[in-house]
Structure 1
């Protein structure tokens, strides 16, 4: 038995497995785990299945936060988030950018929280406690993206 490799043929990329497939969001846009991994620096140590699990949890969180707003937009006749009138940035609705950002940051926060060892760059360089502000900052930025979609202020002031 012999195998012949033709070096003139371009390599065929593997078909994405179920863990790499975009995650449908219904009224909200699908989330592509590969784009999130690249855009938000999620290391290869996080398996595609773990990333997908974190993204699904983040989608649930963000869609829960936007539930009443979405119902209002749907009642106004907007069939999807992409159909809601909004300024465009880089050829795409700012609302789509904000939604993807909110989902990605919530997912990354969960990954850093659950799999702390993936974000530690070298022995002794960073302790797990040092990552806590990072998780808080990720969650804060995700909340800012949701509040921007809702058109609400980012600052909450309460008198004691």
Structure 2
């Protein structure tokens, strides 16, 4: 059995990240907690991943946002939707998409730390996790858009 110490590199809590006023702000510490991202990921690297994820998710949802705003709706929380624990499921799905995309991005970037056979084996396992996270993000985006998760085409 091997014990691996996880470095604690955090110095201060990073600020909440806002984007277009339609979308909810994202707290990097909540991303870290929800996605179980340990201290080997620095705060600045986490913030970078979250900003990148927000830009990607916002781009995917831009037509949706524009449609809602044209209908006079100013924020995602104002879009009519079911609520769970007093939160719109659309807001939850947006956070899920951003969290998963940011985490997948971090996993892909950390692949280059260990080039041994064991490191490559672990990296291959992480690729599956990154793919799973990207899938989760796609599902969350599709939930916001109100479309199914599966696309089938008959030949």
TM-score, normalised with respect to structure 2: 0.84
How far, CA to CA, are the matches of 2:45 and 2:154 in structure 1?
Answer: 41
The answer for unaligned runs of 5 or more in structure 1 is 1-13
How far, CA to CA, are the matches of 2:37 and 2:12 in structure 1?
Answer: 21
Q: Does 1:44 align with 2:14?
A: no
The structure in which a higher percent of residues are helix is: 2
Q: Does 1:65 align with 2:52?
A: no
Q: Does 1:21 align with 2:15?
A: yes
C-alpha RMSD over aligned residues: 2.0
The structure in which a higher percent of residues are strand is: 1
Alignment of 1:78-97 (within 5 A): 78-97=73-92
Aligned residues: 141
Residue number in structure 2 paired with 1:149: 144
How far, CA to CA, are the matches of 1:149 and 1:104 in structure 2?
Answer: 15
The answer for unaligned runs of 5 or more in structure 2 is 1-10
* C-alpha deviation, 1:84, in angstroms: 0.9
Q: Deviations over 1:104-151 (max 9, x none)?
A: 000000000011378x9xx94852112111111100010000000000
| SS class of match (1:52) | helix
Moved more, 85-94 or 143-152: 85-94
Residue number in structure 2 paired with 1:11: none
TM-score, normalised with respect to structure 1: 0.82
